[in-house]
Amino acid sequence: MSYVIKGETGQWEVVIGLEVHAQVISKSKLFSGAPTEFGAGPNTQVSFIDAGMPGMLPVINAHAVEQAVRTGLGLKAKINQRSVFARKNYFYADLPQGYQISQYDMPIVGEGTLILDMPDGTTRAIGIERLHLEQDAGKSVHDMHPSKTFIDLNRAGVPLMEIVSKPDLRSPEEAGLYLKKLRSILRYLGTCDGNMEEGSMRCDANVSVRPVGSTELRTRCEIKNVNSVRFVMQAIEHEAMRHVDVYESGGSINQETRLYDSNKGETRPMRSKEFAHDYRYFPDPDLQPLEFDDAFVAAIKSKLPELPDDKQARFIKDYGLSAYDAGVLVAEQENALYFEEVAKGRDAKLANNWVSSNLFGVLNARGVAIGDSPVSAKNLGRLLDLIADNTLSSRMAKEVFEIMAETGNAPDAIVEERGMKQITDTGAIDAAIDQIIAQNADKVEQYRSGKEQLMGWFVGQVMKATQGKANPGVCGELLRKKLKS
Amino acid sequence: MSLDKATVRKIATLARIDVPETDLESTVQQLSGILKWIEQLAEVNTDGVAPMSGGTDLKLPWRPDAVTDGGKVDAVLANAPDAQDGFFGVPKVVE
């Protein structure tokens, strides 16, 4: 079902392209040896190059180049063995050089593809237009002084990858899925940590609308620097509605840059300076073209990890999981690793249920990452073994799991300590059943005269009598036998 | 290629250079002269010659990803007219 805005005059389709700025994981900056660590004291991670001092020359960080190529390969994109750094000129207080070193008409990575898994089980291929390397700017602090802005250049010169999608996205939901998938791929590759709150992944959304059935591209607006997946989706929704309202009331849209106000749920124009978009790009005379050979690319390619799409396909094939279940597990590499450790040599579907529902439930409720899970993969695996060998019923297993989540203890120890072993010994269950039958002659009569739904009540009574330790399978079987006779 | 007044005025604004209206005409003449001089390069036949980034055979030097700089906030701020608490202070820039 495609996303459509119902207006007064008809139905409208939304056209979205995303530009993601992803901070490259590196120790030092793109063109200087100053560190990139987050949260250091102001201007403590600044070289004279980052501060735009005269006469300083930039030298490219080899690792940043590798990271960009690695990301390009992960996006199945064309790698350009020759690319050119250009100066993007504009004046702002946190840009000491007066220009940002970026790439313009010759980026390091060209066209690629990103696959979205839609909730209905289908997939959508979204085009990647390009990926280029550039420097980040410094940070402006506006709220420390009534008449001054304070500038911290620690971030100035930090390597960024700008990843630009084609205008292939058609709903806020697709935009959200795109961001999550891109973040997942970047994390697998180890090229960006994808942390939107700390600003190591930032998103600009280009939004326009058109009547359903039309193929024209109308004037777009760019919504800048939205800092969470949810806000990107909300901002697109509001912006698309605004366009529809403007067109339907006879107006026209101006190409402009807007900001999303998440409190008010609306976008508003940025106070833009005149000529703000006239960046006068030209090749940076301080930097020769960036060139590398096939062997450089091949070496990076040979060390790529198994990526989410491939892992998902393997989980479907090897473990018999649904595309959706596999997709949930592979979104984060650590989750997939955990699952595989639990599933190894065991019932994979059962393992998936325990990991995706029970474990993720506990982790989400507590806001804990899987790396800090109180229940280790080894212990969860043991719990599954105890279910498989009938030591625990699934109900008891849930109780044991809760204790594991509280204490971090191994399931065997918990079962031992609390005497939670399931009773499969028919003698003990027999006795309990006999007693219940003797005490409830009326119910037995009703059951025998055809009211078979009473079976559930009998099983419940036996469970109660055995403090929940009776094996429900054995219990049901014995009950049926005894009630018949 | 020759420039007109409007173009020069725009370039001056973008470059944050104050060119008084009275100097505009002479600036137009000078910049047009420079462009015309450079345009002589177009007379050279470059058919079949790949684009070059310069006249020498320099390659872009690469450096390993190692921290070799930073940690000198005092030196970085030495020329700042209004440094405070480790920051550069500038007139308020409000978005």
Asked if the Cβ–Cβ distance from A59 to B61 is below 8 Å, we say yes
Domain that holds residue B26: 5-43
> Does the pLDDT value for residue A331 go beyond 50?
yes
pLDDT of residue A256: 87
Mean pLDDT of A437-449: 86
> d(Cα A136, Cα A84) in Å, to the nearest integer?
17
Contact in structure between A260 and A223 (CB atoms under 8 Å): yes
Tell me how far apart the alpha carbons of residues A256 and A239 are, in angstroms, rounded to a whole number: 12
C-alpha–C-alpha distance, residues A343 and A388, integer Å? 13
Is the CB of residue A21 less than 8 Å from the CB of residue A201?
yes
Contact A33 B90 (CB under 8 A): no
Q: Which residues contact A55 (CB under 8 A, 6 or more apart)?
A: none
Q: What ipTM, to 2 d.p.?
A: 0.90
Q: What angle is formed at CA A96 by the lines to CA A95 and CA A98, rounded to 5 degrees?
A: 70
* Token pair recorded at residue B86: 């480790």
B27 occurs within a structural domain: yes
Q: Cβ contact (<8 Å) for B90 and A151? A: yes
The alpha carbons of chain B give a radius of gyration, in whole angstroms, of: 22
Q: For residue A485, what pLDDT is reported?
A: 66
Tell me the average pLDDT across A388-402.
86
Contacts of B69 in chain A (CB under 8 A): 28, 32-34, 47, 49
Please state which CATH number belongs to domain A426-484.
Answer: 1.10.10.410
In a domain, B49, yes or no: no
Contact between chains at B65 and A62 (C-beta distance less than 8 A): yes
**Bridge pairing between strands A112-117 and A266-269:** unpaired
Cβ atoms within 10 Å, residue B62: 15
Contact B53/A93, CB-based, under 8 Å?
no
B93 touches chain A (CB under 8 A): yes
Give the E-state strand segments of A104-185 in sequence order. 112-117, 123-135, 139-141, 148-152, 159-165
Q: Taking residues A457-480, report their average pLDDT.
A: 82
Position A272 scores a pLDDT of 58
Pick the residue with more confidence: A212 or A443?
A212
On whether any CB of chain A is under 8 Å from the CB of B86, the answer is: yes
pLDDT winner (highest mean) among A420-429, A462-471, B67-76: B67-76
Interatomic CA distance for residues A46 and B78, integer angstroms: 13
* Cα nearest neighbour of B84 on chain A: A150
Which of chain B's residues have a Cβ under 8 Å away from the Cβ of A63? 64-65
pLDDT tens-place string over residues A54-74: 999 999 999 999 999 999 999
Cα(A482)–Cα(A444) distance, integer angstroms:
10
Q: Quick one: DSSP state of residue A96?
A: T
Confidence band, pLDDT 50/70/90 cuts, at residue B5: very high
- Taking the CA of residue A306 and the nearest CA in chain B, the distance in Å comes to 25
Choose among B10, B69, B94: nearest Cβ to A34: B69
Mean pLDDT, range B56-68, rounded to an integer: 93
Put simply, whether B82 touches A (Cβ < 8 Å) is yes
Work out the average pLDDT over B14-33: 92
Chain B residues inside the 8 Å CB shell of A61: 62-65
Query: Which residues of chain A does B64 touch, with a Cβ-Cβ cutoff of 8 Å?
Result: 61-63
Greatest extent of chain B over all pairs of C-alpha atoms, in Å:
58
For residue B45, give how far its alpha carbon lies from the nearest alpha carbon of chain A (Å).
22
Q: Would you call A313 helix, strand, or coil by DSSP? A: helix
CB contact under 8 A, A148 and B54: no
- At residue A394, the pLDDT reads 83
Task: Give chain B's domain count.
Answer: 1
CB contact under 8 A, A44 and B66: no
Helices (H), A195-307: 229-248, 294-301
Predicted local distance difference test score (pLDDT) of residue A271: 63
Residues of chain A found within 8 Å of residue B13, distances taken between Cβ atoms: 274-275
Q: Choose the closest CB to B95 out of A47, A153, A270.
A: A270
Share of chain B above pLDDT 90, in %: 72
Domain residue spans of chain A: 5-300, 308-418, 426-484
A114-118, A259-263, A274-278, A374-378 — which is least confidently predicted? A274-278
Whole-number pLDDT of residue A274: 45
Cβ separation A93–B94 shorter than 8 A: no
Q: In chain B, which residues have their Cβ closer than 8 Å to the Cβ of A55? A: none
Residue B71 within any structural domain of the chain: no
In a domain, residue B88? The reply is no
pLDDT digits (tens, 9 = 90+) for A240-297: 999 999 999 999 998 888 999 888 888 888 865 544 568 899 999 999 999 999 999 9
Inter-chain residue contact A47 with B13, CB threshold 8 Å: no
Segment A178-230, tens digit of pLDDT: 999 999 999 999 999 999 988 899 999 999 999 999 999 999 999 988 889 99
Query: What does the pLDDT read at residue A275?
Result: 46
Radius of gyration of chain A (CA): 30
